[in-house]
């Protein structure tokens, strides 16, 4: 029996159903969704967006011994990648226009193991759909924690001509090849007209109060040697 699971299938179950129902929806297999546990066995691991007192709980995929993830799709780098970005978890700057967005999730291997200290490099257009090709506005990299978790604080990117809304990403496990891809938003009118868009790379969005901004989840899955 094919036990390969898509990242989106697991994550959608995490957002929509309690863990027991998620297990049932997967046909009784041992694959399911859990909340990652911190080093303190009595505490639930919480990803907290910088400057936001509200904890962001990222659903954590949990697979049985015979289950595998499908690796995240690669996509074009585009023309605006910049080397040597600053290390930071927040791309926000004072007075920056746009809707606040928090993106959080994990980096996993295809055999469903979290990857510690994975490098994640983000870059995107601003609220007007323009890229900063001189400095490092809306550009930055970070590393996953012990549970393979990351949290990015940014804004919803504007529409770049000819493209739907997207965020560029490079992800690299320690001493492994770099995965270059893009993240997308659900229900965007331009998704169907974008020749690069792929639904497998759509973030799972969760409603929040307007003041808190938008919240998206995405788990990257890497092939590691």
What span, in angstroms and rounded, lies between the C-alpha atoms of 1 and 13? 21
For the chain, what are the domain ranges? 4-222
Per-residue confidence in pLDDT tens, the chain, 225 aa? 444 555 555 555 445 444 333 333 333 333 322 333 233 332 333 444 444 444 565 667 666 555 578 999 999 999 999 999 999 999 999 999 999 999 999 999 999 999 999 999 999 999 999 999 999 999 999 999 999 999 999 999 999 999 999 999 999 999 999 999 999 999 999 999 999 999 999 999 998 888 889 999 999 999 998
Helix and strand numbers, DSSP H then E, in the chain: 2, 15
Superfamily (CATH) of domain 4-222:
Aromatic compound dioxygenase (2.60.130.10)
- Give the predicted TM-score (pTM) of the model: 0.78
Eight-class DSSP state of 19:
H
Residues 65-87 as b or e (16 or more Cβ within 10 Å = b): eebbbebbeebeeeeeeeeebee
Eight-class DSSP state of 71:
P
Distances (CA, A) of 55 to 10, 50, 51, 58, 225: 21, 10, 11, 9, 34
pLDDT at 212: 87
């Amino acid at each position: 029996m094919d036990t390969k699971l898509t990242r989106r299938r697991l994550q959608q179950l995490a957002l929509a159903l309690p863990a027991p129902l998620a297990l049932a929806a997967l046909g009784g297999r041992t694959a399911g969704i859990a909340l990652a546990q911190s080093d303190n066995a009595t505490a639930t691991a919480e990803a907290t967006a910088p400057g936001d007192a509200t904890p962001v709980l990222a659903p954590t995929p949990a697979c049985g011994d015979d289950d595998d993830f499908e690796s995240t799709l690669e996509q074009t780098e585009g023309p605006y990648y910049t080397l040597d970005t600053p290390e930071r978890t927040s791309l926000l700057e004072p007075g920056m226009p746009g809707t606040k967005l928090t993106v959080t999730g994990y980096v996993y291997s295809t055999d469903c193991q979290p990857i510690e200290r994975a490098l994640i490099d983000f870059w995107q257009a601003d609220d007007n759909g323009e890229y900063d090709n001189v400095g490092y506005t809306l550009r930055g990299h970070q590393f996953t924690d012990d549970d393979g978790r990351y949290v990015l604080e940014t804004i919803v990117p504007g529409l770049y001509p000819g493209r739907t809304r997207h965020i560029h990403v490079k992800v690299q496990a320690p001493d492994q090849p770099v995965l270059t891809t893009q993240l997308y938003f659900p229900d965007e009118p331009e998704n169907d007209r974008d020749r690069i868009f792929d639904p497998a790379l759509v973030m799972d969005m969760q409603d929040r109060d307007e003041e808190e901004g938008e919240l998206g989840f995405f788990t990257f899955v890497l092939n590691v040697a």
